Amino acid sequence: MSGELVPSEPVLEGELVNERAALEGTWRGSRVVLPALRSRQALRDAVKGASAWAVRVPFRCARAVGRGLVIAARGWRNWVRVRDYREAAEQSEKLADKFVEIRALTLFRWKVTATVLLVGGVALAAARLVYGDLALWILGGVGAVVLAVAGRAKDGASGRKTVLAGPRILMWTMDAQVLIDVFRDAKLIGRDETLRLVERPSRQGAGWAVTVDLPATRKAADVVKNREELASALAIDEIQLSVDRVRGDGGHAGRVAIWVADKDPYASAPAPTPLLTASRWDAWNAVPFGTDARGRRIDLPLVWTSLLIGAIPRQGKTMAERLAVAGLILDPHARLYVADFKNGKDWRAAKQVAHRFMAGDDSEHVLMFMDWLEELVDDVQQRYRRMQHLDDLTCPESKVTPAMSRDQTLDMPITALIVDEVHIALEDRTSVLVQGKRLTAGERIGELLTWLAKKAPAAGLVMVLATQRPDSTTIPSKLRAVLGSRFALRVMDWRDSNIVLGDQMNTRGYDSSRLLPSHKGVGILRPDGETQSGADVLALTVRTFYMPNDDWRVICERGRALRETEGTLTGHAAGQDSRLVRDHEAVVTMGGKSDNGGDRLPEPLASVARYLGDDLSEREFIPTAELVKALDVEPTTFGKEMGDLGCPPARQYVHDGENTRRVRGYLTADIRAAIDESA
Ligand SMILES: Nc1ncnc2c1ncn2[C@@H]1O[C@H](COP(=O)(O)OP(=O)(O)OP(=O)(O)O)[C@@H](O)[C@H]1O
């Protein structure tokens, strides 16, 4: 290599730096630069804050002047009435002595007031004459400034609140202080505590949303619980207010998301179910169920769980139940058992898709339903047995998988048991003999449903039960405990609401007895699984989609067509007799009066027969006192009614410890004869 040496630029030692990043870092960290100018975001926030402040200023000034006026008027009144002196005299019990003096002083101060007003008025008139309206403007301006200074709001200062009531619905979106006052008024935070705004109030849907952090030690759960107090402090109906604890990564126990609807979110027309336009549905997907107050769609997961729907009549129970079932109808692989104890026309369209279908409320229907349940128990047990022999690839756990449920050779489809007015079956008092034990059909059905709700979900059974009598005596607590999802439309009181939603739910802020009668289809949903509101949401208010009979029929027809194509139409829908031929020898029907009437025993004979059970043939004599106590009846009326039914009272000796007493009672022979007569 040859060549001449040429002079070069000086070589500097140093590291390569990104000048722009370094400059930005210095700029952001600088204490000299105003915080608002340190970044674009900071500038945007500052502009937002300044605009909000500018909008607020006139209102705040007007409020301050108003408060100043009130303060001035109060001050003048106290002065003219010589309040300090009067109170001091009162306290030292010398008011009578000082009365004349106080009166003279009061009179004098009134005179001073009148003089000042007169002189002031004359001076004002003179000034106006000399300087024109300008004098009045200047005086008014100075007066307003003085009053505004006197009435300016100070954090936590008492007696500086607007006295007039009125909705604060928009005020709090502009002034965080109003929101703090609202929380203080609702006693959710103390007088000397404050809130931290996590996000500025912003528009979300047809309402305003804000997220706040409560002071340390205050809990978001308490705000959810006391939603009503918060609504009262905001001067809005609680139906417009939605309060949720923010959970997960972005949340903590003291972070609350609040959303306030502009107007009653349920006053508008309900939305039709999206399933109406769906050609088919996969039962493994959550079913579109309704919308929450913000209008967000809420889907309900059904597989692996069971759903209990409770409400007083005419609130939308059947509609809700049909919505949950609609997704299963549109899955041709789902097998449906439909028991309609209401016996109306609501479920008739489901006949064409149901594997088993029954509508009626007689004991015959109840017994048939019991047979279905026995059949389902058999089916579930067999499924578990068959699963043991399947390889791990097909069946990784003892659970039905989507692929297994669609494989017709395995015969383990998602099976839905849908029962409307389930209380009719659970209350039935027809006596049945089960493994030598006498039970009522209702008790047996309760046992079977509990077993199924506990054991069958993993084998692919989905239970959807609806009742208009959600009381503790109707739905056994053991059964309730294993029904994972609950939907409570309006009920009579908080106890009934707790029966549907779970114990103590009213104390956590969820009470469906508070829903309005006009809000049909609106209820509190306690899902078992994740909904659009997140997996951690305990419960939420939902308005179900609207699905009138016509739409329901369309969905059922579509379900049938899908099953015909897939070759999955079975049982009742396929024209096979759904009535099970079971050995009813073991089931001894003794009758019993239930709400569904029929040819059963009249009361109190039915209760006596039920109470005695096997004793009816084993004992000879039953003391009246024993029956009165056991059946909790009024003795005179009971005696008369038993007499009318052909059971006259008798007297017999009974052993009472070491003694023998003669007591009134009934011969079981007479009771048996009366039963034969009435049956
Ligand atoms: N989401 C909804 N939006 C608007 N109206 C609804 C909604 N759900 C139900 N309704 C109306 O409420 C009324 C009662 O509905 P539904 O028959 O489902 O009630 P129910 O509780 O099953 O009554 P019952 O106790 O008599 O069986 C119906 O007129 C129905 O149109």
Angle at which helix 95-131 crosses helix 40-80, to 10 degrees, equals 120
The residue whose CA is least distant from atom 7 of ligand 1 is: 521
Query: Ligand 1 centroid vs 487 CA: distance in angstroms?
Result: 14
Supply the pLDDT for residue 153: 61
Supply the pLDDT for residue 165: 41
Best residue for ligand 1 mutational test, from 315, 323, 500 (most atoms within 8 Å of Cβ) = 315
What is the mean pLDDT of the segment spanning 484-503? 90
What is the mean pLDDT of the segment spanning 319-325? 95
| C-beta 317 within 6 A of ligand 1 | yes
The residue whose CA is least distant from atom 1 of ligand 1 is: 521
Cα–Cα distance, 397 to 387 (Å, whole number): 9
Q: Strand, helix or coil at 298? A: strand
| C-beta 270 within 6 A of ligand 1 | yes
What is the mean pLDDT of the segment spanning 579-603? 46
Q: 74 φ, ψ to 5°?
A: -65, -45
| C-beta 311 within 6 A of ligand 1 | yes
| C-beta 470 within 6 A of ligand 1 | no
Q: Highest mean pLDDT: which of 164-178, 195-209, 404-418?
A: 404-418
What's the complex ipTM? 0.95
Residue 31 annotated in ligand binding: no
| C-beta 318 within 6 A of ligand 1 | yes
Ligand 1 atom closest to the Cα of residue 548 is: 31
Residue 316 annotated in ligand binding: yes
Query: Ligand 1 centroid vs 520 CA: distance in angstroms?
Result: 6
Supply the pLDDT for residue 159: 39
Supply the pLDDT for residue 155: 44
Mean pLDDT taken over the chain:
83
**Among the ranges given (21-25, 503-507, 567-571, 616-620), the one the predictor scored with the smallest mean pLDDT:** 21-25
Residue 138 annotated in ligand binding: no
What is the mean pLDDT of the segment spanning 466-484? 84
CA 226 vs CA 231, 317, 510: distances in Å: 9, 27, 10
Query: Ligand 1 centroid vs 356 CA: distance in angstroms?
Result: 25
What is the mean pLDDT of the segment spanning 142-146? 88
- 184 or 99: whose pLDDT is higher? 184
Cα–Cα distance, 387 to 458 (Å, whole number): 11
Supply the pLDDT for residue 99: 74
525: left (phi over 0), alpha (psi -120 to 50) or beta: beta
| Statement: residue 528 has pLDDT above 90 | no
**Can you list the alpha helix ranges (DSSP code H) found in 567-634?**
605-612, 615-618, 624-631
What is the mean pLDDT of the segment spanning 167-184? 72
Ligand 1 atom closest to the Cα of residue 544 is: 1
| C-beta 521 within 6 A of ligand 1 | yes
Supply the pLDDT for residue 21: 64
| C-beta 313 within 6 A of ligand 1 | yes
Give residue-wise pLDDT tens across range 11-38. Answer: 544 444 456 666 776 777 666 777 777 7
Cα–Cα distance, 302 to 315 (Å, whole number): 22
Are 195 and 213 within 8 A, CB to CB?
yes
The residue whose CA is least distant from atom 25 of ligand 1 is: 313
pLDDT grade for 304, boundaries at 50, 70 and 90: confident
Residue 311 annotated in ligand binding: yes
Supply the pLDDT for residue 490: 93
pLDDT grade for 529, boundaries at 50, 70 and 90: low
Query: Ligand 1 centroid vs 475 CA: distance in angstroms?
Result: 22
pLDDT grade for 371, boundaries at 50, 70 and 90: very high
Give residue-wise pLDDT tens across range 381-416. Answer: 999 989 988 888 888 888 999 999 999 899 999 999
Ligand 1 atom closest to the Cα of residue 311 is: 21
- 615 or 297: whose pLDDT is higher? 297
| Statement: residue 579 has pLDDT above 70 | no
- 248 or 358: whose pLDDT is higher? 358
Are 286 and 300 within 8 A, CB to CB?
yes
| C-beta 546 within 6 A of ligand 1 | yes
- 486 or 633: whose pLDDT is higher? 486
pLDDT grade for 595, boundaries at 50, 70 and 90: very low
- 677 or 207: whose pLDDT is higher? 207
Supply the pLDDT for residue 252: 85
The residue whose CA is least distant from atom 9 of ligand 1 is: 316
| Statement: residue 649 has pLDDT above 70 | yes
Supply the pLDDT for residue 10: 57
> What percentage of the chain carries pLDDT values higher than 70?
86
Q: What is the reported pTM? A: 0.63
Map tokens 């994740």 to a residue: 530
pLDDT grade for 93, boundaries at 50, 70 and 90: low
Query: Ligand 1 centroid vs 652 CA: distance in angstroms?
Result: 57
| Statement: residue 564 has pLDDT above 90 | yes
